[in-house]
Amino acid sequence: MNKKRLFNRICKDIKAIKIQGASNIAKAALKAYSLFPTKASIKKLESLRPTEPMLVNTLKLAEKLPSKKILQHFSDAQNKINLLVLKLIKQNSTIFTHCHSTNVTKALIFVKKKGKKFDVYNTETRPLFQGRKTARELIKAGIKITTYVDSAARIAITKSGAVVLGADAILQNGNVINKVGSGMFAEIAHAKKIPVYIIADSWKFSSRNIKIEERQHKEVWKNAPEHIRIKNPSFEVIEKKYITAIISEYGILKPEKFVKKIKSIKRG
């Protein structure tokens, strides 16, 4: 495939969510940028998913650093996260998760490989069913998984020992943005005194205002009768008061502490 076609293919796959999740999007965008390292490429790539600061942060660094160094960061951060999640997950516990997060699935697979026994409850994640991707990856790794329809999440959460979610953005005020539903699930868990952990590479931090992506109504109802208004927000805010800790390469930190840490690193 020639360079132009490959660039366009990557853009199309990111837009259509064939390539999904903050880390996969950032890695694919890095590959596309390396084909055409221009400001115009950055503009185009950033426009594909407006709720992805990791994509923005990655491309900003790609202007200065070789791709190899950036990819090394992703794997170093994941390795550190894995060790923290290993300590956190209790033997014979049940973990609830939503959507598909690479940071989450990689950490869970690592914990399983280290011999810890646990099982996972997850959601389908309508309308695009990213939960099935999570289920496929985890079952392949030998992790017992039970999938619930999204509206059964409270039943699943109530039977779980912890809620573990990924992140698309970590905001200055300590709130987190993740797949729509995440805010509601965190609120339910908090009400039931079940801890909520966000597993995320720190490059998801953003000091900018983040727009919540609104996707096409066709994803929700392909041939809907006329005049029915359909809303399809892709993400939502998880308020920091519902988050027990953010697990990143900088440790297991309360949202405010995480933000403080990131800011001190940037200053330093």
- Residue 147: how many CA atoms within 13 Å on its side-chain side? 17
Identity of the residue, 17 or 184, whose beta carbon is nearer to ligand RUB in the bound complex: 17
Smallest distance from ligand RUB to CB 29, Å: 12
Identity of the residue, 23 or 147, whose beta carbon is nearer to ligand RUB in the bound complex: 23
Name which of 204, 148, 156 is nearest 178 in CA terms: 204
Identity of the residue, 82 or 130, whose beta carbon is nearer to ligand RUB in the bound complex: 130
Smallest distance from ligand RUB to CB 34, Å: 20
Smallest distance from ligand RUB to CB 87, Å: 19
Report CA Rg, the chain.
18
130 vs 181: CA distance, rounded Å: 13
Smallest distance from ligand RUB to CB 267, Å: 25
Identity of the residue, 124 or 168, whose beta carbon is nearer to ligand RUB in the bound complex: 168
Identity of the residue, 36 or 73, whose beta carbon is nearer to ligand RUB in the bound complex: 73
Whether 168 sits among the annotated catalytic residues: the reply is yes
Identity of the residue, 178 or 244, whose beta carbon is nearer to ligand RUB in the bound complex: 178
Helices (H), the chain: 3-15, 22-35, 39-48, 53-62, 67-88, 102-113, 130-140, 153-158, 182-191, 255-267
Catalytic residue among 119, 150, 168, 201: 168
Residue 268 is given by DSSP the state -
213 vs 191: CA distance, rounded Å: 28
Residues that bind ligand RUB (CB under 6 A): 17, 20-24, 99-104, 130, 166-168, 178-179, 234
Smallest distance from ligand RUB to CB 177, Å: 8
Burial class from Cβ neighbours inside 10 Å (0-12, 13-18, 19+) for residue 266 reads exposed
Is residue 33 within 8 Å of 60, Cβ to Cβ?
no
Smallest distance from ligand RUB to CB 266, Å: 20
Which tokens hold the place of 61? 């660094």
Name which of 80, 118, 123 is nearest 98 in CA terms: 123
58 vs 84: CA distance, rounded Å: 24
Residue 211 is given by DSSP the state P
Which residues are known to be catalytic? Answer: 168
